[in-house]
Amino acid sequence: MKTIPVPDFDLVVFGATGDLSKRKLIPALYYRMIAGQIPPGSRIIGSSRREMDKNSFRLFAKQALEEFVKPDKLNSKHLQSFLEILDFVRMDASGDVGWKQLAETLEGSRDRVRAFYLSISPGLFGPVLERLVKYGFAIEPTRVVVEKPFGRDFASAQALNRQLSNGFRESQIYRIDHYLGKETVQNLMALRFANSLFEPLWNSRHVDHVQITVAEDIGVEGRGEYYDQSGAMRDMVQNHLMQLLCLTAMEPPNMFEADAVRDEKLKVIKALEPITPEDIAAHTVRGQYRANGEAQSYFDDVGNSDSRTECYLALKAEIANWRWSGTPFYLRTGKRLRSRLTEIVVIFKDTPHSIFGEKGSNLHGNALVMRLQPDEAITLQMNIKDPGPGGMRLREVSLDMSFKDQLNLDGAEMPDAYERLLMDVIRGDQTLFMRGDEVEAAWKWADSILQAWSKSGHPPRQYDAGSSGPEDAMMLIHRDGRRWRDIQL
Ligand code: BG6
C-alpha cells in the first residue's frame, strides 16, 4: 500500500497512559512507522500524571504493542526504532507541574509540525487548553486534536468551541470522529463522486429509504460509569451515525477539500427535521438489554438498577431538502446485539410495474450495501433470473463490488482509522475532522430528542442480550411498510 511521507513532527499525547492511547494511538503510530511514513527525527512525547519517566513509558508502549499489534508485525528492529522516538513528561493537566519541562523538551523544534493530542477526560480539556495558551504553546502552526466526547449537549459543545478559539484558529483544531477515518467511509465518497452511475438515482425519486446500522455485540466493557452518563445518542448517534448520514446525503462538494466537504455536511444537519415531543414516540425507540444466558443485564453492567440510559436507539430521521424530502433515513445502534455489523444501505424503489406477475412478487428493490464492519465490502443486491431451463423464475443475488480481489488486497490489512487520522493531522488535512459549527448543529438536533425523552418519562424498552433489539424498534419501521435488514451476515 502506498504511503505519502509526512514532515518531521513532535506529537504530544496528553493521557498517553490511558486506554485509547494503549489500544489505538500507540499501535497506530507504530504501524505508520513500519510503513515508512514517520520521519526518523520525529518525536512522540507521552504525558500523564503517572510517576513515570522516559524508560518506563517506553516499557508501557512496548507492552501495549505486544498486546495490540499483530505478532507478525512486531520485530525487534522496528520495535527498537519506534521506542527510540518516544519521550515522556510527567504533567499535571490542571496544575503547573511539568509544563516548563514540556516547553524545554520542545525547545529548538519550532520549525517542525507540532501537535497536541487531548486524549483525556472532557473535564480536563479546559484546564489543558488554558495552559497551552499560558505556556506559549498556542502558536502557529501548532495543531490541537480533541477526542470525543465533544460536549454532552449544545451548550457544552459551544463552550468547548469557545475555549478552543481562545488559543487556536479553526484551521488548527482537529475534532476526531474515528468513523471518518474508516476505509469504507471514504470509499462512499469515491463511489458517489468519482462515478456518474449513482448520482442520477441518488434522490427521493429513486431511493425508497436508507438504513444506517451500527450494531455491536459487546456490552459497555468496563466503561459503565461513562456510558451510563451518555447513552447511545451521545456516544454513537450524535457523532458517528450522524457523520455516516451526512456523507450519504450531502450534495457533491465542488472539491474534495476540508471546508467544501464540511460545508455540505453542515447543510444536511441543518436540514434535518427536528424530532419534537409530539413525534418522539413514533420516531424513536430506546432500549436496554436484559440478562440472557451468560450475558448479564445492562443494569448489572453499569451497576445502576434505576438507569434510564439507552444502550440501544433506533430512529427515523427526515431531511427537509429537495433531494431527500420523502425518503426516510432509519438509524439504529446498540450494544449486546446479535452480532457486530456496521453498514449503510441505500434501498431503491421497486420497479414501477412488474412484468413478471406472481413470479416477481417476492422481490425487493435493489439495495446498495456499504459495509464497514466486520469487514469492508460494497455489494449491490440485484434481481436476476434463476439460472436454468424451466421458465422465468426470479431471485435476488448480491453483486460483489468488493475491491479486495481487483486490487490484490486479499490478506492485506486495511490501516486502522487512527493511522489515517493521525497522519492527516501531521499533514494538515482537516477533511476527515469535524468543524465546530458542524458539531454544534448536530448537538442542537440531538438535544431536542434528549429533551423530548426526558419530558416523556418513558423508560427504555428491554431486549434480550444477543437479540436484534427491542420489538418496538421493529414496529418503528414496520409501520412504514418496511423492514430492517438482518443484523447477522
Ligand atoms: C466509540 C464509542 O466512539 O465507538 C464506543 O464510545 C463504541 O461505545 C465504539 O463501542 C465503536 O467503534 P468501532 O470502531 O469499534 O465501531
Q: Which of 150, 221, 236 has most ligand 1 atoms within 8 Å of CB, for mutation?
A: 236
Kindly state the DSSP code that residue 337 receives in the 8-state scheme. Answer: B
The predicted-structure confidence for 19-44, as pLDDT tens digits, reads as follows: 999 999 999 999 999 999 999 889 99
The predicted-structure confidence for 85-101, as pLDDT tens digits, reads as follows: 999 999 999 999 999 99
Ligand 1 center–CA 179 separation, angstroms: 9
Residue 223 alpha carbon, nearest atom of ligand 1: 8
Q: What is the mean pLDDT of residues 120-141?
A: 93
Q: What is the mean pLDDT of residues 68-74?
A: 94
Residue 239 alpha carbon, nearest atom of ligand 1: 3
Residue 407 CB coordination number (10 Å): 10
Residue 340 alpha carbon, nearest atom of ligand 1: 16
d(Cα 121, Cα 140) in Å, to the nearest integer? 25
Please indicate whether residue 216, judged by its CB atom, sits closer than 6 Å to ligand 1. yes
Tell me the three cell numbers of residue 253.
462538494
Q: Which of 182, 216, 225, 230 has most ligand 1 atoms within 8 Å of CB, for mutation?
A: 216
- Give CA angle at 269 (286, 429), nearest 5°: 115
Predicted confidence at residue 320, as pLDDT, reads: 98
Ligand 1 center–CA 357 separation, angstroms: 45
Q: Is the peptide bond before 149 cis (omega within 30 degrees of 0)?
A: yes
Residue 214 alpha carbon, nearest atom of ligand 1: 16
Predicted confidence at residue 406, as pLDDT, reads: 65
Please indicate whether residue 343, judged by its CB atom, sits closer than 6 Å to ligand 1. no
Q: What is the mean pLDDT of residues 275-297?
A: 95
Nearest CA to ligand 1 atom 2: 235
Ligand 1 center–CA 313 separation, angstroms: 14
For the purposes of burial, counting CB atoms within 10 Å of the CB of 166, is it exposed (0-12), middle (13-18) or buried (19 or more)? exposed
Q: Which of 240, 242, 421 has most ligand 1 atoms within 8 Å of CB, for mutation?
A: 240
Residue 417 alpha carbon, nearest atom of ligand 1: 14
d(Cα 140, Cα 125) in Å, to the nearest integer? 20
* Predicted TM-score of the model (pTM): 0.95
Nearest CA to ligand 1 atom 4: 236
Tell me the three cell numbers of residue 132.
497551552
Q: Which of 178, 227, 376 has most ligand 1 atoms within 8 Å of CB, for mutation?
A: 178
Q: Which residues pair with 307 in a beta bridge?
A: none
Please indicate whether residue 235, judged by its CB atom, sits closer than 6 Å to ligand 1. yes
Q: How far is CA 489 from CA 371, 373, 388, 467, in A?
A: 10, 10, 27, 14
d(Cα 29, Cα 45) in Å, to the nearest integer? 12
The predicted-structure confidence for 199-255, as pLDDT tens digits, reads as follows: 999 999 999 999 999 999 999 988 999 999 999 999 999 999 999 999 999 999 999
Per-residue confidence band for 404, with pLDDT thresholds at 50, 70 and 90: low
Per-residue confidence band for 313, with pLDDT thresholds at 50, 70 and 90: very high
The average confidence (pLDDT) of the chain is 94
Which stretch of DSSP H or E encloses residue 395?
Answer: strand 394-400
3-state helix, strand, coil in the chain (%, to 5): 40, 20, 40
Q: How far is CA 46 from CA 35, 66, 117, 167, 450, in A?
A: 22, 18, 10, 22, 37
Ligand 1 center–CA 382 separation, angstroms: 32
Ligand 1 center–CA 46 separation, angstroms: 23
Question: Does residue 311 carry a pLDDT above 70?
Answer: yes
Share of the chain above pLDDT 90, in %: 83
Tell me the three cell numbers of residue 186.
471514504
| DSSP reduced 3-state for 330 | strand
Q: Which residues pair with 342 in a beta bridge?
A: 214, 373
Task: Give residue for cell 482537516.
Answer: 430
Pairing mode, if any, of strands 9-14 and 113-118? parallel
| DSSP reduced 3-state for 43 | strand
Phi, psi of 432, rounded to the nearest 5 degrees: -100, 25
Nearest CA to ligand 1 atom 14: 179
Per-residue confidence band for 325, with pLDDT thresholds at 50, 70 and 90: very high
Give every CB contact of residue 190 below 8 A, 6+ residues apart in sequence. Answer: none
Question: Does residue 393 carry a pLDDT above 90?
Answer: no
Are the CB atoms for 317 and 282 separated by under 8 Å?
Answer: no
What are the DSSP calls for 145-213, one per residue? EEPSP--SSHHHHHHHHHHHHHH--GGGEEE--GGGGSHHHHHHHHHHHS-SSSGGGSSTTTEEEEEEE
- Give the total residue count for the chain: 489
Are the CB atoms for 245 and 212 separated by under 8 Å?
Answer: yes
Closest CA to 444 of 308, 326, 273: 273
* Catalytic positions: 240
Tell me the three cell numbers of residue 227.
456510558
Q: Which residues pair with 210 in a beta bridge?
A: 329, 346
Closest CA to 26 of 355, 308, 439, 418: 418
Q: What is the mean pLDDT of residues 430-448?
A: 98
Nearest CA to ligand 1 atom 6: 235
Nearest CA to ligand 1 atom 13: 179
Please indicate whether residue 416, judged by its CB atom, sits closer than 6 Å to ligand 1. no
Ligand 1 center–CA 13 separation, angstroms: 20
| DSSP reduced 3-state for 427 | helix
Q: Which residues of 121-136 are buried (b: 16+ CB within 10 A; e: fewer)?
A: ebebbeebbebbeeee
Kindly state the DSSP code that residue 278 receives in the 8-state scheme. Answer: T
Ligand 1 center–CA 364 separation, angstroms: 32
List of E strands, 39-192:
43-48, 86-90, 113-118, 143-146, 173-175
The predicted-structure confidence for 355-384, as pLDDT tens digits, reads as follows: 888 777 778 889 999 999 898 889 999 999
Nearest CA to ligand 1 atom 9: 236
- Sheet with strand 43-48: strands edge to edge: 86-90, 43-48, 9-14, 113-118, 143-146, 173-175
Ligand 1 center–CA 335 separation, angstroms: 10
Question: Does residue 410 carry a pLDDT above 60?
Answer: no
Kindly state the DSSP code that residue 123 receives in the 8-state scheme. Answer: G
Task: Give residue for cell 418522539.
Answer: 280
Question: Does residue 1 carry a pLDDT above 80?
Answer: no
Ligand 1 center–CA 489 separation, angstroms: 20
Which stretch of DSSP H or E encloses residue 66?
Answer: helix 54-68
Kindly state the DSSP code that residue 434 receives in the 8-state scheme. Answer: B
